[in-house]
A and B are shown apart, each in its own frame.
Chain A
Amino acid sequence: MYKFLFDIDRCINCRACEVACKQQNDVEMGVRWRRVSEIEGGKYPNPSREFLSLACFHCARPPCITACPVKAIYKRADGIVINDESRCIGCGYCSWACPFGAPTLGSDGLMQKCIACYPRIDKGLDPACVHTCLTGALAFDTPAEIAKIQGERATEKVVISP
């Protein structure tokens, strides 16, 4: 089983993940499988900016699968959630069910979303967005490995920060 890690402290809004995704998966214009959004806050001279790089989370219990009336969406043994375009009828129920708005209807009227670059995963590589992330804000691994990374980062901050 795999999952994504996103570290908001590290994201610098460079959008490398978005574009790496597009080139890797030939995602059509107007559709983004991964998208970085910005949250502005605070008041001058103490403003804040946070950046969120979001794609399909490949949920443990995906609501899109439950919502799909034709069982087009399925979860692979390794946890990656895939839409079978040959079954998809383009009803869009999945996109309503998803709390993150990950499934999007493409120009062909069918649903598309992040596939965690499974052709790369099957070759033992990491997803294109993770591979290109300049700051290590993204990772894709087993829950145990992700927990380990999170633990290390938390310790690093506590121990090393002056």
Chain B
Amino acid sequence: MDVEANTLFNGTMMSRRAFTKLTALGTAAALGGISNVSAYPTKFVDELVEPASAIPVDVERTVYSVCEVCPFRCGIKVTCNGGVVKTIEGNPKEPHSNGKLCARGNSAEQVIYNPDRVKYPLIRTGERGAGGWKRASWGEALDYTAGKLKEIEAKYGPESIALIQFPNLMTPLLSRFQKALGTPNFFSSLGTCKISRVVADMKTLGAHIGNAIDYKNAKYIMLFGRNTFETPANCSVQALSAAITKGAKLVYLDPRFTVTASKADEWIPIKPGTDLAFVLAMMNVIIREGLYDEEFLTKYTYGFEELKGFIGGYTPEWAEGVTGVPSEQIERIAVEFATTKPAVAHPNWHPKGYESETQISRGILILNALVGNINKPGGIFYLRGVKLGDIKPPAYPEITAKRVDGIPDKYPLVPASHGLWQLLPDAIINEDPYPVKGLIVYRSNPLHGMPNRHRVIEAFKKLDLLVAIDILPSDTAWYADVILPECTYLERYEPPMVIAGKSPKVALRQPCVEPMYESKHSFWIFKELAQRMGIGNYFDFELDDYINARLSPLGIDKDYFKDHEIWSSGISPELKGLAGMKIKTPTGKIEIYSKTLEANGFDPLPTFEPPKEAPGGMFRLLHGHIAVHTHANPATFDNAYLNEICSENELWINTDTAGVLGITNGEYVWVENELSKGKIKAKVTEQIRPDAVFMLHGFGHTSPDLKLAYGKGLNDGDFIKAGADPIGGVCPMDETFVRIYREG
């Protein structure tokens, strides 16, 4: 027994097998094990509490649900028995997974049975960030949180409370809480993600189309840094692989030789930040050679004549000087793209993290329009969704205060539903335009995900209250005043998920086992807080009622998913062009020339703005992902299965560059700029341009209670300055320069 408990707590993981054994020993034994745990240097983990048992435990059950190890949300099929999750695989009827899961999805048991989970509410005792906590009852923690929030509201007004969340299925309910509270300051993490791409889509196509690319039917695919094979987009990975297998040509532009590059027919190590120049030169050739789809452009686009006048100077010869790619290669690719049908270019996610990012995405969208490949097989397409119902809230209080991130005055086109979170720390520190004193962070890790960690800590220190609602003791939770433990996705219902696509479907996240320890559903947390804040009337229903209200337009309720893997709209997945479609732009057409951009004082055509040049002796720092990890969420980094595969990041540095600097493969080197300094293992490689260095994003966690992730690798965000693309708002993260040097 003691051996078991020791293994459990001192080891790096709790396997499902160990958990099963432990629960079989019963509460007394489990608590008995705790006496052995004094050496376990945590402040979060003290004891285990037996789960309640409303969900049948003794029979083997299969539950169709939705994954949440990463934000892509694949459909899953979970087998449980004895109150324990046994196996997890993809739901074959759900189109995100098609029955197959990535490494992250397969690692689910290390999420639910992660010994690092926050097990009960905690209230800070010592200095902020010093790691002193006292265990609190839920009543105590909620009273404390609501009491502090009310104090802040009374002193500074409701606008002094800000909320941050990673976009998820509970977002509408947190937003309800925000609106009932009467604060405009609601943020998602899109400011360091795809926000500019969203704006580019909205202003060009009239709708955001995400990853809606019909790879499978494409014969020629261009990816501008969209490292598909190392993204969470499971179905895109499958479709791109299938397209390559079927013989589609893949042209991939990226300063780094990623996995996707390794599968491409042509890898172009373009000069960072110059993708738009390449795209404009392609357009120049296509227009000069008359290879565009005239009928499509006349019928469905606005501004082609203006583009013709605008594009003349952007010759392949000009682009060669800017991008470093030979003009003949650009010319050849342009002709291939325009003459191979169907050809498609991915408008990217956060293309390169430059101030001109919106225009880069617009340029690629326009390139697709030039060959007329929109809403056709093998092209980009408009997503079809499903309209769900709602429980109508009582009238919200009027919000008169402006947002602290400058939307809409300074950033007229950025959607307030996401905001620009990277600008929040400065607003807090400078109390500009007013003090923000309370911050509720839900399923997000801003201390790690926002740029410039040191600045974020400074901002946190100015808060009167920082609340973290989370599963793991993230870096942000480590600095919080109160941590409210949410249960994991395998332990809860959530509002239904619409799977927009060619033929929309709806899936439901359903609990497989009871919430472990004292963790609670976030709906219950929001509701309890709302009641204490005097806004309980906005939450006078249960989550079941809300799910059923959402599903009611489909003529089903949540029990439908007890014996159905998925709800299907039955809409034909066929792509039939744009005839009869309403395009939601001011002109009702795809806007090559954007009337909205023009009206807001921006360039209506995608003019190329050169990226900043690296100062002497410095290198551009690029960042990106690997297929086993995601973002700043510790769920993959502090996960035994995934940590075993990739536990720390390395600095990719070109062999020639490393030679000049005297750096050898595998040694730890210093990375430094005006914001930060840190050590990281060097990966000396042929797979990157000599003028740039690269590190994987998401490493360098600072919460000591993330036992596996703590202190491993370096956080790229430490070196990145907060800023915003004036049109779409994204933080220009790749405009980051660092010095690299050896010890001493």
**Chain A residues within CB distance 8 Å of chain B:** 9-10, 12-16, 18-20, 22-24, 26, 28-30, 32, 40, 42-45, 47-51, 128, 131-136, 153, 156-157, 160-162
A159 smallest CB distance to B (angstroms): 8
Q: Name the B residues within 8 Å of A30 (CB-CB).
A: 644
Chain A contacts for B15, CB-based, 8 A: 26, 28
CB-defined A-B contacts under 8 Å, sample of 17: A12-B237, A12-B241, A14-B102, A16-B100, A16-B101, A16-B627, A18-B645, A19-B106, A19-B645, A23-B109, A24-B87, A30-B644, A128-B87, A134-B102, A153-B245, A162-B247, A162-B249
Question: Are A49's CB and B257's CB within 8 A?
Answer: yes
Do A49 and B262 form a contact, CB below 8 Å, given A14-B229, A131-B89? yes
Instruction: Report A-chain residues with C-beta under 8 Å of the C-beta of B234.
Output: 134
Q: How many Å from the CB of A148 to the closest CB on chain B? A: 16
Question: Across the interface, do B654 and A44 meet the contact criterion of CB distance under 8 Å?
Answer: yes
Residues of chain B within 8 A (CB-CB) of A15 are 103, 627-628, 645
Chain B stretch 76-107: residues in CB contact (< 8 A) with chain A: 87-90, 99-107
Q: Give me 6 other A-B pairs in contact (C-beta within 8 A), A14-B102, A16-B106, A32-B644 excluded.
A: A10-B245, A19-B645, A24-B87, A43-B686, A132-B89, A135-B241
Q: Report Cα–Cα, A133/B89, bound state, in Å.
A: 11
Cα A5 to Cα B158 in complex, Å, equals 61
Q: Which residues of B contact A (CB under 8 A)?
A: 11-13, 15-17, 87-90, 99-109, 219, 229-230, 234, 237-238, 241-242, 245-247, 249, 257, 259, 262-263, 267, 269, 340, 627-628, 640-642, 644-645, 654-656, 685-690
- Complex: how many Å from CA A45 to CA B687? 8
Q: With the chains together, A156 CA to B243 CA distance in Å?
A: 11
CA separation between A23 and B102, bound complex, in Å? Answer: 12
With beta carbons under 8 angstroms apart, the residue of A14, A20, A48, A131 that contacts B237 is: A14
A48 to chain B minimum Cβ distance, whole angstroms, is 7
Q: Which residues of B contact A12 (CB under 8 A)?
A: 229, 237, 241, 259, 263, 627
Complex CA gap A55/B103 in Å reads 17
- Chain A residues with Cβ below 8 Å from B685 are 40, 47
Q: Is the Cβ of A20 less than 8 Å from the Cβ of B101? A: yes
B640 contacts across to A, CB distance below 8 A: 29
Contact of A16 among B17, B102, B257 (CB under 8 A): B102
Complex: A16 Cα to B688 Cα, angstroms? 26
Give the distance to chain A from B299, nearest Cβ to Cβ, in Å: 29
Chain B minimum-CB-distance residue to A10 = B241
**Shortest Cβ distance from residue B422 to the other chain A in the assembled complex, whole angstroms:** 30
CB distance from A17 to the nearest CB of B (A): 8
Complex: A12 Cα to B264 Cα, angstroms: 12
Across the interface, which residues of A come within 8 angstroms of B655, CB to CB? Answer: 44
Q: What is the CA–CA distance of A14 and B240 in the complex, to the nearest angstrom?
A: 14
**Are A44 and B690 interface neighbours, CB within 8 A?**
yes
Is B109 a contact of A156 with CB atoms below 8 Å?
no
Q: How far is the CB of A144 from chain B (nearest CB, A)?
A: 22
The answer to whether A23 and B106 have CB atoms under 8 Å apart is yes
B269 touches A45 (CB 8 A): yes
Across-interface contacts of A13 in B (CB, < 8 A):
229, 259, 627
Least Cβ–Cβ distance between A9 and chain B, in angstroms: 8
Q: Chain A residues near B688 (CB, 8 Å)?
A: 44
Question: How many Å lie between the Cα of A156 and that of B242 in the bound state?
Answer: 11
CB closest residue in chain A, given B101: A132
Which of chain B's residues have a CB closer than 8 A to the CB of A24? 87
**Residues in A neighbouring B259, C-beta threshold 8 A:** 12-13, 49, 51
Given A29-B644, A134-B241, A162-B219, also A18-B247 (CB < 8 A): no
Looking at the complex, which one of B104, B237, B249, B689 makes contact with A135 (CB distance below 8 Å)? B237
Q: Are B687 and A47 in contact (CB under 8 A)?
A: yes
* Pair A161/B247 contact, Cβ less than 8 Å: yes
Question: How many Å lie between the Cα of A93 and that of B629 in the bound state?
Answer: 36
Please determine whether A47 and B686 come into contact, CB atoms closer than 8 angstroms.
yes
B238 near A135 with CB under 8 A, answer yes
Q: Which chain A residues border B99 with CB–CB below 8 Å?
A: 131
Chain B residues, Cβ within 8 Å of A28: 15
Contacts of B263 in A (CB 8 A): 12
Give, as a whole number of angstroms, the nearest-CB distance from B411 to chain A.
36
Q: Say whether B340 contacts A22, CB under 8 Å.
A: no
Closest CB of chain A to B243's CB: distance in Å?
A: 11
- A153 and chain B: residue at smallest CB distance: B245
Contact in complex: B13, A162 (CB < 8 Å): no
Name the contact of A47 in the complex, choosing from B16, B90, B245, B257 (C-beta under 8 A): B257
B-chain residues with CB within 8 Å of residue A16 when the two chains form the complex: 100-103, 105-106, 627
Query: In the complex the two chains form, what is the Cα distance from A29 to B115 in whole Å?
Result: 15
- Interchain CA distance A16-B101 in the complex, whole Å: 7
User: Which 6 residue pairs are nearest across A and B when measured between Cβ atoms?
Assistant: A160-B247, A135-B241, A19-B106, A49-B262, A47-B686, A14-B627
Min distance, Cβ A70 to any Cβ of chain B, angstroms: 26
Task: Evaluate contact between A19 and B103: CB separation under 8 angstroms.
Answer: yes
Q: How far is the CB of B276 from chain A (nearest CB, A)?
A: 21
**B237 partner residues in chain A, CB cutoff 8 A:** 12, 14, 134-135
Q: What distance in Å separates the Cβ of B446 from its nearest Cβ neighbour in chain A?
A: 28
For the complex formed, measure the closest distance between the CB of B664 and the CB atoms of chain A, giving whole angstroms.
16
Q: Once the chains bind, are B641 and A19 in contact (CB under 8 Å)?
A: yes
| Chain A residues, Cβ within 8 Å of B686 | 40, 42-44, 47
Q: Which residues of A contact B642 (CB under 8 A)?
A: 19
CB pair A157 B12 closer than 8 Å: no
Q: In the complex, which residues of chain A have a beta carbon less than 8 angstroms from the beta carbon of B90?
A: 132
Report the minimum CB–CB distance from A123 to chain B (whole Å): 12
Chain B residues positioned under 8 Å from A14 (CB to CB): 102-103, 229-230, 237, 627-628
**A22/B641 in contact, CB under 8 A:** yes
Residues of A within 8 A of B219 (CB): 162
A26 contact set on B, CB distance < 8 A: 15-17
Shortest B82–chain A CB gap in Å is 14
Contacts of B645 in A (CB 8 A): 15, 18-19
Chain B, Cβ-Cβ closest to A125: B89
**B105 vs chain A, min Cβ distance (A):** 8
A70 to B102, CA, bound (A): 39
The chain A residue with its CB closest to the CB of B104 is A19
Tell me, rounded to whole Å, the shortest Cβ–Cβ distance linking A93 to chain B. Answer: 27
Residue numbers in A under 8 Å from B13 (CB-CB):
29
Most buried by B among A23, A28, A32: A23
Tell me which residues across on chain B come within 8 A of A162, comparing CB atoms: 219, 247, 249, 340
Q: How far is the CB of A129 from chain B (nearest CB, A)?
A: 10
Q: Which residue of A lies closest to B654 (CB)?
A: A44
Q: Tell me whether B245 and A132 are in contact (CB under 8 A).
A: no
Given the interface pairs A15-B628, A23-B107, A40-B687, the reply to whether A156 lies near B101 with Cβ below 8 Å is no
Q: Are A49 and B100 in contact (CB under 8 A)?
A: no
* C-alpha spacing A24/B15, complex, angstroms: 11
Residue of B nearest to A42 (CB): B686
Name which residue of chain B comes closest to A12, CB basis: B229
- Which of B15, B16, B108, B642 has most chain A Cβ within 10 Å? B15
Are B687 and A23 in contact, with the CB atoms below 8 A?
Answer: no
Which A residue sits closest to B17, measured CB to CB? Answer: A26
Which residues on the B side are within 8 Å of A128 (C-beta)?
87, 89
| Chain A min CB distance to B113 (Å) | 11
Contacting residues, chain A, for B100 (C-beta < 8 A): 16, 131-134
Taking the closest CB of chain B, its distance from the CB of A108, in whole angstroms, is 12
Interfacial chain B residues near A133, Cβ < 8 Å = 100
CB distance from B487 to the nearest CB of A (A): 20
User: CA of A124 to CA of B229 in the docked complex: distance in angstroms?
Assistant: 30
Interchain nearest-CB distance for B69 vs A (Å) = 10
Q: Which residue of A lies closest to B15 (CB)?
A: A26
What B residues does A32 contact at CB under 8 A?
A: 644
